[in-house]
A and B are shown apart, each in its own frame.
Chain A
C-alpha cells in the first residue's frame, strides 16, 4: 500500500533510479539505527535487488553443489543394503568402519604424497614450459599446439595407452629398455607398487602439464616488458630478473594453477583405475579409488559416502592451508 501511495514510479519526478540508492547510502550508513529515511519495504526491496542478478547463479550453486554435498553427508549417515535399499540411519557407524579399515591410513598418506608429488613436479615443469612457449622462435605455434594435445585427449585413453606401453609382455617401454640393454629381462612395471606409483604420477603430470603451462603462459604475457627493461638498466642479470620479477609477478597464475591442480589430482580416478586398479591389494589406491572399491567391491554405499565426506574435508583443508600459506588476500587486493 505505502509503496503505491508514495507514487514515485509513475510520475517520473524523482531523479534517475541509478542515482537514487547512491544518494540514500551516505545518509543511512552513519546511523543505521534510525528508522526514518526511505520506507522499510522500499529498503528491503533495494536490499533484494542484487538477488535478481545473483539469483540464477545462487540457484545453480545450490542445486549443483550444495544439494549433492547435503546428499553425500546424509548418505554417509545411513545404512544402505547391498542391493541399494536404504535401511535407515546408522549414526557414525560408517565412519568408525571406515577408520577401522586396515588400509585407510596408508591410503590417505599415499594420496597426500600423490597430490604433492604430482603438483610440485607439474608446476616446476610448467614454469619451464611456459617460459619456452612465451619465447619467440620459429615454429612456436606448432609447439603450442603440441603441448595442448595431452589435454585434448581423454585422460582415460592416455592412461590406457601408457598401461599398454608398460605391459610386461608386449610393452614399448620394456622393448626400448631391453634394446638399449638398460634391463636384461622384461619388468612388470605396474605390478610393483612403487614403480607403478611413479609411472602413474608421471602420467598425471603429463596430463596436467598443458593446462598448467598455459596458465603460466597467460601469466607471463601480463608482465609488461618495461619492467624487465628497467631491471636491465639497473644491471640485473637473467637469473636475478627471473627471481626478482617474473616469479613474484607470476604469483597469481601459480596460485590459481596449483589450486586447480591440487583439486584435479586429488580427485583423479581414471589414471589409477585404468593402470593398476589400485592394486595389488590396496597398494596403489588413493582415497578416490578406495572410495569406489568400498562401494562396488565391498558393496557398502554408506561407508563409501563416509569416505567421500572425508575426501571432501581433506581437500577443503588442503586448499585452505595452501591459501593461507600463500597469503591469498594480498592477491585479491
Chain B
C-alpha cells in the first residue's frame, strides 16, 4: 500500500512538474536557435498599423528566404506593462517599437544603433533625432516616427469674437480667450489630465524659457519660468477661460469639443486632424499656427519621437536577421508609406520630401527645426513623466504650482 501511495505521489509530482516544465520549454523554444526568426513587438498607432506591418513582413520574408518575423501588436495602454514583463521574464523581443530606450541602454539590454543598421541608414537619420537617440554619447535608439505641436484655432469663432490674427503672445492668448468666452464658447482647451500633461505643460514652458533640465542635464523642474508657466495656466483656468477641470481632461475630450466648434484654441499635433477632428466634424474651419510664447519673439515647438530598439539575444545570434529587417524597413518607400498612413513626421531626410507635398503636414515639417524634446535620453525620464502625469494637473485646481513642481523635482532627483 505504501509503495502504491508513494508511487502515486511521485507520479502526481512528476506530472505537475512536467506540465509546468513543458510550458516553459515551449515558450523559450519558440524563438530562434538558428537566429533567423525574430520577434517584433509593434505598437498600435491606428487601425492602419497592423495591415502595414503584415504586408511589410510578407514582403521582407519573400525577399529574404529563410528569415521569419513574428509580429506582435500591442496597444499603447498595455505597452508599459508588457515591456516590463518581457524584460523581467527574460522574454524580450528582438525588435521593439517604443517611446523610450535609455533605460534599456543603461542596463545593457540593447544593441548600439551602429551594430544593427547599415551606415547608409545611420546617415539618413536627421541629426535632431540622432541627438535624441543617444545614451552616454552613443546612439542606441533608432528614430522611428516624430511629431510636433502647433496651436490649432477655430477661424469661425475667432472671427465672431472680432479677432483678426491668432495670438502670438501669452497676453494675446488670454485677451483672445476672453473675447471668445464673451461670445459663449470656451476660449482655450487645456488638457492637463494624466494622459499627456507633460506634453501640454512643456509646450507652454519651453516658450517661456522653461524646461526639464539645465544645460548640464540636471533636473530643473521647479525653476521659476516653469512656476510662472503654471501660474499663467492656473490664471486661465481660474478666470474661466478654459473648459472646466483641466486637471482631469485628456486631449480626446478637448479635440472632440474643438471639432464641434465649442473651443476656440488648443494645442495639437499632425495626427490631430486625422484622428480627432475629421471623425467628429470634417467641415471644421480651423487654422494652425506656431505655439504662442510669453515674449512673442521666439516660437519653439514640442518635438516627440518614438524609437525602435533591438535587444541582445542568444549571444548576438539574432544580429544578422535584425539588421536585415531594420535595413528593409528604413528603405525610403517603406518609411514614408508608414508616415503617410499614420500622420506622423519623418525622422529620415529621405522621407521628409514626400510629406511636404501635403500643405497641412508641411506646416508641421517646417516647425521641426525649432523643436525641443523631453529629455528621453535620461533613463529617469519615464518616471519623471509619470510623476508629471499624476500630479501636474492639480496645480490648476487645488494645489499651488510651486509645491507641485517641488514634489516632481524631488521625484526626479530620487530617480537619478
Chain A residues in 8 Å Cβ range of B194:
277, 279
Q: Is B184's CB within 8 Å of the partner chain A?
A: no
Residue with the highest number of chain B CB atoms closer than 10 Å, among A48, A279, A283, A296 = A279
Chain A residues in 8 Å Cβ range of B415:
82, 299
Assess the A280–B397 pair: CB atoms within 8 A: yes
Q: Is B16's CB within 8 Å of the partner chain A?
A: yes
- List which A41-100 residues lie within 8 A (CB) of chain B: 41-42, 44-45, 48-49, 51-52, 55-56, 59, 63, 80-86
Assess the B85–A84 pair: CB atoms within 8 A: yes
Measured between C-beta atoms, what is the minimum distance from A304 to chain B in Å? 10
- Docked Cα-Cα span, A17 to B386, in Å, equals 66
Residue with the highest number of chain B CB atoms closer than 10 Å, among A41, A297, A301 = A297
- List which B340-367 residues lie within 8 A (CB) of chain A: none
Assess the B386–A299 pair: CB atoms within 8 A: yes
Assess the A297–B5 pair: CB atoms within 8 A: no
Partner of A279, one of B84, B104, B106, B393: B393
Knowing A56-B12, A81-B107, A83-B109, the reply to whether A190 touches B386 (Cβ < 8 A) is no
Closest chain B residue to A75, Cβ basis: B88
- Docked Cα-Cα span, A102 to B414, in Å, equals 14
Assess the B382–A280 pair: CB atoms within 8 A: no
Assess the B87–A276 pair: CB atoms within 8 A: no
Chain B residues in 8 Å Cβ range of A301:
84, 88
Count: A-B pairs, CB below 8 Å: 119
Measured between C-beta atoms, what is the minimum distance from B11 to chain A in Å? 11
Among the 9-residue stretches B59-67, B161-169, B240-248, B269-277, the one with 4 or more Cβ atoms under 8 Å from chain A is B240-248
Closest chain B residue to A17, Cβ basis: B1
Assess the A9–B1 pair: CB atoms within 8 A: yes
Assess the A82–B382 pair: CB atoms within 8 A: yes
Chain B residues in 8 Å Cβ range of A169:
253, 256-257
Assess the A84–B83 pair: CB atoms within 8 A: yes
- Docked Cα-Cα span, A83 to B87, in Å, equals 7
Number of B residues, CB within 8 Å of A: 49
* Secondary structure type dominating chain B contacts: helix
- Docked Cα-Cα span, A252 to B385, in Å, equals 49
Chain A residues in 8 Å Cβ range of B103:
81-83
Assess the A191–B245 pair: CB atoms within 8 A: yes
- List which A255-288 residues lie within 8 A (CB) of chain B: 276-277, 279-283
Q: Is A188's CB within 8 Å of the partner chain B?
A: yes
- Docked Cα-Cα span, A9 to B247, in Å, equals 78
Number of A residues, CB within 8 Å of B: 44
- Docked Cα-Cα span, A85 to B89, in Å, equals 9
- Docked Cα-Cα span, A298 to B256, in Å, equals 30
Q: Is A3's CB within 8 Å of the partner chain B?
A: yes
- Docked Cα-Cα span, A295 to B386, in Å, equals 10
Interface string of B100-116 (1 = CB under 8 A from A): 00011011010000000
Chain B residues in 8 Å Cβ range of A188:
244-245, 248
Assess the A83–B245 pair: CB atoms within 8 A: no
Assess the A168–B244 pair: CB atoms within 8 A: yes
Knowing A83-B87, A299-B383, the reply to whether A280 touches B393 (Cβ < 8 A) is yes
Closest chain B residue to A296, Cβ basis: B80
Q: Is B389's CB within 8 Å of the partner chain A?
A: yes
Q: Is B81's CB within 8 Å of the partner chain A?
A: yes
Residue with the highest number of chain A CB atoms closer than 10 Å, among B9, B83, B85 = B9
Assess the B390–A297 pair: CB atoms within 8 A: yes
- Docked Cα-Cα span, A84 to B82, in Å, equals 11
Q: Is A111's CB within 8 Å of the partner chain B?
A: no
Assess the B12–A300 pair: CB atoms within 8 A: no
Assess the A52–B107 pair: CB atoms within 8 A: no
- List which A84-142 residues lie within 8 A (CB) of chain B: 84-86, 102
- List which B37-87 residues lie within 8 A (CB) of chain A: 80-81, 83-87
- List which A4-52 residues lie within 8 A (CB) of chain B: 9, 17, 41-42, 44-45, 48-49, 51-52
Chain B residues in 8 Å Cβ range of A9:
1
Measured between C-beta atoms, what is the minimum distance from A113 to chain B in Å? 19
Measured between C-beta atoms, what is the minimum distance from A52 to chain B in Å? 6
Knowing A188-B244, A280-B248, the reply to whether A102 touches B407 (Cβ < 8 A) is yes
Partner of A281, one of B5, B8, B13, B399: B399
Chain A residues in 8 Å Cβ range of B126:
none
Assess the A191–B383 pair: CB atoms within 8 A: no
Q: Is B222's CB within 8 Å of the partner chain A?
A: no
Measured between C-beta atoms, what is the minimum distance from B249 to chain A in Å? 8
Knowing A45-B1, A85-B109, the reply to whether A300 touches B383 (Cβ < 8 A) is yes
Assess the A298–B387 pair: CB atoms within 8 A: yes
Q: Is B223's CB within 8 Å of the partner chain A?
A: no
Knowing A84-B85, A168-B245, A300-B383, the reply to whether A52 touches B109 (Cβ < 8 A) is no
Closest chain B residue to A276, Cβ basis: B248
Q: Is B394's CB within 8 Å of the partner chain A?
A: yes
- Docked Cα-Cα span, A49 to B383, in Å, equals 54
Q: Is B391's CB within 8 Å of the partner chain A?
A: yes
- Docked Cα-Cα span, A295 to B407, in Å, equals 18
Partner of B12, one of A59, A81, A84, A298: A59
Assess the A85–B87 pair: CB atoms within 8 A: yes
Chain A residues in 8 Å Cβ range of B8:
52
Chain A residues in 8 Å Cβ range of B397:
280
- Docked Cα-Cα span, A293 to B88, in Å, equals 18
Assess the B383–A82 pair: CB atoms within 8 A: yes
Partner of B2, one of A41, A192, A279: A41
Assess the A297–B104 pair: CB atoms within 8 A: no
Q: Is B261's CB within 8 Å of the partner chain A?
A: no
Assess the B88–A86 pair: CB atoms within 8 A: yes
Residue with the highest number of chain B CB atoms closer than 10 Å, among A41, A51, A276, A280 = A280
Assess the B391–A83 pair: CB atoms within 8 A: no
Residue with the highest number of chain B CB atoms closer than 10 Å, among A83, A102, A299 = A83
Chain B residues in 8 Å Cβ range of A56:
12
Assess the B389–A297 pair: CB atoms within 8 A: yes
Chain B residues in 8 Å Cβ range of A83:
83-84, 87, 103-104, 106-107, 109, 379
Assess the B1–A190 pair: CB atoms within 8 A: no
A-B contact pairs, 28 of them (CB 8 A): A3-B2, A42-B2, A48-B2, A48-B5, A52-B8, A56-B12, A59-B16, A63-B20, A82-B383, A83-B103, A83-B104, A84-B84, A84-B87, A85-B87, A168-B245, A169-B257, A188-B248, A191-B244, A279-B248, A280-B394, A280-B397, A293-B386, A296-B80, A296-B81, A298-B386, A298-B387, A299-B386, A301-B88
Given A55-B12, A298-B386, 10 new contacts (CB under 8 A): A44-B2, A45-B2, A51-B5, A55-B9, A63-B20, A81-B106, A191-B244, A279-B193, A297-B390, A299-B383
Contact surface of B with A, Cβ cutoff 8 Å:
1-3, 5, 8-9, 12-13, 16, 20, 80-81, 83-88, 103-104, 106-107, 109, 193-194, 244-245, 247-248, 253, 256-257, 379-380, 382-383, 386-387, 389-391, 393-394, 397-399, 407, 411, 415
